[in-house]
Structure 1
Amino acid sequence: MSGGDLLAELRAKARTRLDPAHWDFYEGGAGAERALAENERAFRRLALLPRVLCGRGPADPAVTLLGDRLELPVVISPTAFHRLAHPDGELATARAAAAAGTVLITSMAATTAVADVTAAARAVRPGAAVWFQLYLQPEREVTRALVRRAEAAGCTALVVTVDSPVFGRRTRDDRNGFHELPPGLATENMRDLPGAPPGRTRDIAMSPALSWDDLRWLRDGTELPIVVKGVLHPRDARRAVDEGVVGLFVSNHGGRQLDAAPASVDALPAVVDAVGGRLPVLLDGGVRTGADVVTALALGAAAVGVGRPVLWGLAAEGEAGVARVLAGLRAEVAHVMALCGAGASADLTADQVVARGARVVAGC
């Protein structure tokens, strides 16, 4: 079964099993959903130009990221509320990621506490890397408490999402009236934080007043490496390097924030150029196939993140569904790499990515 067929099967099964409002929460984007649709369209506009007779042997899709070996160049991007998809929620996702040899970036808005997520991952594979996604909160004591929880849980990196000075306007959620979790579910990482009544959770807050000063304060207050997520502008990429972060995520938040934003893969080359190899650049948004992954790698990404496909697998088949998504992507990435003449991701080059339908330029 091809990767596209597998995802289509899981997506269709997930849709039948989810409450329609919860399906729309996972699937929807901001505004008219132009950025959401453009993420996938942008990959379809690109083609891969294979190299031949390279003599590199079987392709190995493994990569090293922040010192950890990943068996495939795909991490699980942070997505909220996994227990809407399956009762095991983030625990199932963590186990599948660990078994596949990759990283789960668990969301600050998870329905399972970060300590339980890391424990689930390491019960499958001791030493499994789990990263914690963080929104800087207007009250620094709240941010500090969240960071301490991630540290105590054994997370190996913080992924700071910076593209959300305000919440994106989600048309589907407004139409469905979906603005809170059903009884029995909560954003567990937000429980018992400063300012919350004992045993209760706080709301996640956004603030347009947050700045690079707040990121610098965070960097100085933790020994965890910091990856900044949500960068599209090359100047912001250069600033992030100067501020001492260890990685960047080129991302338009899955089309869920600024509806006028470009597709992530369209922004990737300029960010890679701006960084100049000084730190790894990752990408998420619209990745659906092994060819999409290889395209991003050729354009300079160290790895990609997937979000919605993991949720489809989780809703359709629980942990086994997430495992099928990751295994399918790994196999397809290795196959496409071999067809492109690459034995490893480092063998891929940007001149192997061309506009579909365009004439190949001599000397590229």
Structure 2
Amino acid sequence: MTSKSVKVCSRRLCRHGPICAATSWTGTMTDTAGDASARAAPRGICGSGVMRMAPAFLRVGDEQRRGTRPDGAAVALVAKSHGKCYLKLSTRTGQAAPMTFPHVIWTLRRTGGTTLATLLADLSDYPGVQHEPFNAERIFGEVTRNWTATRDTGLLRADMQRVLARKPVIKHCVELVPEPVNDALLTVSASLGYVQIVLDRRADVDRILSLELARHTGAWGKAEARRVHEAVQSGERSLPPIDIAAAATHLRACDQRRRNMHARFADHGIAPFVVHFEDIYADPVRGRDTVAALTAFIGIDRSAVDDYDARVEEALLTKGQKSARLLDRVPNIDEARAALEEVRRPSA
């Protein structure tokens, strides 16, 4: 017989209201002959004191473990990446209820984030919101504007608590807001039970070139990119050269923001789900597998989504700006690419 003390955070994750009102409980999980049980502290698990679980202790990254309480209510425990287990009860179906989590996608511009964020938001149980909502001119821009005007950390945290109260899913570009806003977003979202996703791009030079092209042409979306491409192809429009110095400066700034982001996760003891543009969009088979892993991380039950495969297929194959064909028509594209690759090259 082995025992292990665990701490479970049930912070507002049960949809049955006060059924799991305790913010946390600590219990001892005992494995005996392939059957495990956990005894909770007085305020845990609706005060029932004991629940029965699947055979084996939960570890970080485990799938759902299912079982029943003595009163017949089904339970599920899930260990997520930040090392806490979450409780969810279903008293209606007699089955362990699927558990989903609100999420933040931390990214940089031109990583395919709009397509991925839209797909995950459509599949999530939590409300969607305008992408990059903390940009000064967008729906939660007041948070950023207030910080810029006051430098008041207390107000910043209160503002962040207010706008995240309904737990909207967030796609956030780390290079577009002051670092204290990034700090507050991680601190508050983690306290509210959000899971954290990082979307990056291995071909960072391609990302910067795509960004510079969008800045010069206004081709931020698929429709705009198609119109610009048609105009260039017909000779109605020519593309300007890349501002190499500005692009190199922005590449360095993004590198620093990327380092700061990962240091921030480490400081909070959070291991985010890290995914790259190439993992999703370069190969449809790998892309489907990557999206499946992401939905499992968030807690989305793919089998409960009737058109799941069609939605994923559409996102992987028919969306995105596909700006590479435009880049080939930029007059100094080879010079710009070589200069940016030199910036990316590690110093000896």
Over alpha carbons, which structure has the higher Rg?
A: 2
TM-score by length of 1: 0.25
Greater relative contact order (Cα 8 A, min sep 6): structure 1 or 2? 1
